[in-house]
Structure 1
Amino acid sequence: MFIREVIIFIAIFLFLALGMHMNQWLTHPIEHLQQLSIHKMPYHPLLYSTIVYILLGIIRAIFNTFMKLFRRK
């Protein structure tokens, strides 16, 4: 269960990183990583990924709760 959640978080992180900075990752990825380390807010990719992960977790929890109502016992 824990491994699955880590994989989901990493997938969200990669999706957002590539989606927001596709140009930089394709043209000069090493320089982009170096710029990230000197950025004023270097934790921002993790912050955004965490927010999206929490929102998706809430949606998943609501969906699972809703589905449990209609499952046969």
Structure 2
Amino acid sequence: MKKELMIFLGIFLFLAIGMHFKEWISHPIEHIAALPKAGAYGFGPFHPLIFTTIIYVVVSILRGIVYLFSKK
């Protein structure tokens, strides 16, 4: 459980910094404060969690496939 949480948080941080690098470097507090007014694809303030969950599911499926083929 702890390992999966760390993977989820790692994906979250990777996506957050990757997509909003300039904002995190120049004004991170203002960027976080503006989250309730975010309108990313109509998901609003929940868009970071939604996108992270989607990527996490894809990564989990790939990890499962690798696990199945590597187990002999």
Q: Same fold (TM over 0.5)?
A: yes
Please identify the structure whose Cα radius of gyration is greater: 1
Cα deviation digits, residues 11-47 of structure 1 (max 9, x gap): 0000000000000010000100011122231110111
Give, in whole Å, the separation in 1 of the partners of 2:38 and 2:21: 18
* 1:31 match: 30
TM-score normalized with structure 2 length: 0.90
The alignment yields a C-alpha RMSD, in angstroms, of 0.8
Q: Name the structure, 1 or 2, with higher relative contact order (CA <8 Å, separation 6+).
A: 1
Count of aligned pairs between the two proteins: 68
Runs of 4+ in 1 over 6 A off after TM superposition: none
Runs of 5+ consecutive residues of structure 1 not aligned to the other structure: none
Give the share of equivalent positions with the same residue, in percent: 46
- Aligned with 2:12: secondary structure? helix
